[in-house]
Structure 1
Amino acid sequence: MSQLILFAIDVGAVALLVFGLYFPRHRRRDLVVAYLGVNVGVLAVASALSASNVGAGLGLGLALFGVLSIIRLRSTELDQHEVAYYFSALALGILGALSTTQLWLSAGLMGLILVVMFLGDHPRLLRHYRHQILVLDSAVTDHLALVAQLEQLLGGRVHVVTVQRLDLVNETTVVDVRYSVKGRPSSATAAAGTAAPAGAHR
């Protein structure tokens, strides 16, 4: 009975993680089934191994290796926060398969994971900071001039800028810029976001 209670807690926790936190904030439908599948799959494998003669550590190691391989060999791009949700779903599944003597400890750790993800991925946390990859229609070789141009274009303060490509023939500069804005993004910042070849990351 205690094991079933732990399973139910895990199902409720992963449902809250996926449908209460991830999907309302990021709206990526294809990862919903991935997170649910990882959680239930790890839960099933770990539970089966804990009841067999096979070492649970070996089984969990193989499960972790499989998930890491999926993340590494993915065909679509994943942001770092999406990788964090992967590991959260996996950790919930492992905790759900622990011994029933650690029922309340496992439930408490599941709650801790949810609280950390709620706070760490909250839209208001560091909400003024932005990350974009921009293509400038000029070849800028001077770093200070580049920073000044980006700050004027983005309407914020540039903290880190890395030149990824400098094309003196076609007069273009590809930069990876991390900056901050105060209040609501300006029209210049919004225009820069739509012009960036790679998506903006908050």
Structure 2
Amino acid sequence: MFTGLAMDLVAIVLLAYGIYYRRHHRRDLLFAYVALNVGIFAVVSLLLVQRVDIAVGFGLFGLLSIIRLRSSEITQQEIAYYFVAIVLGLVNGIAAAMPLTALTLNGVLLAVMYVADHRGLLGRTRQQLVTLDVVHADPELLKADLESRLRARVLQAMVTQVDYVRDVTVVDVRYVVPDMKASVR
């Protein structure tokens, strides 16, 4: 169990601080990932050490599943970090008797998260909700306005809300930021 705990703590610190926090700088989620991971590890370890009825195990995980993630809005990316934090706790709690398997799975999970969330892989593509102080009837005018305001090439602009009374449009925009190195030359 102590080997599993040590591997779990190293893995969650690498995920939460080494990868997530250094890229996204959200201290609240750093703490949430660590707490959730250690909690999952503790529950799984207890279930494995203390022979309990499977219904108790399902009940505990049912209880965990109804806890709603209440915070400021979190992205799909941050939900993925939650999921991997849970999986690391499960892997290390269950596979404590098989440290090589747990170590391999930890390495795979951390490597996947490192690469999948790397800026080099994602390039310069961004997503943002933009509130405009104008309503555009023509999609081409909307795109041109967004490109002017964002100083970027718009890939997709999906209107999510229009308020004709206040003359406001909310748009979910996917865009590519210009390469600053190329523009300096």
- TM tier, smaller: 0.7 to 0.9
List alignment gaps of at least 5 residues for structure 2.
none
- State yes or no: 1:54 paired with 2:48: no
**What value does the CA root-mean-square deviation take over the aligned residues?**
2.3
- State yes or no: 1:44 paired with 2:65: no
**Correspondence for 1:171:** 167
Query: Residue 11 of structure 2 contacts residue 88 of structure 2 at CA under 8 Å; is this kept in 1?
Result: yes
**Correspondence for 1:93:** 89
Out of 59-68 and 131-140, give the one that drifted further. 59-68
SS in 2 for 1:50: helix
Aligned-pair CA distance for 1:60: 6.1
**Correspondence for 1:132:** 128
SS in 1 for 2:89: helix
- State yes or no: 1:114 paired with 2:110: yes
Residues 49-70 of structure 1: per-residue CA shift (max 9 Å, x gap): 1122325686267336515633
Aligned-pair CA distance for 1:28: 1.3
1:20 to 12, 18, 40: 18
TM-score by length of 2: 0.85
SS in 2 for 1:175: strand
**Correspondence for 2:3:** 5
1:67 and 1:26 map into 2 onto residues whose CA distance is: 25
How many aligned positions are there? 181
List alignment gaps of at least 5 residues for structure 1.
186-202
2:135 and 2:151 map into 1 onto residues whose CA distance is: 20
Residues 79-120 of structure 1: per-residue CA shift (max 9 Å, x gap): 222211111111111111124443211110011111011111
1:109 and 1:172 map into 2 onto residues whose CA distance is: 49
1:47 and 1:170 map into 2 onto residues whose CA distance is: 56
**Correspondence for 1:194:** none
Call closer, same or farther: CA 1:175–1:145 in 2, change over 3 Å: same
- State yes or no: 1:181 paired with 2:177: yes
SS in 2 for 1:78: coil
SS in 2 for 1:161: strand
**Which one has a larger percent helix, Structure 1 or Structure 2?**
2
Identity of paired residues, percent? 39
TM-score by length of 1: 0.79
SS in 1 for 2:157: strand
Aligned-pair CA distance for 1:25: 1.4
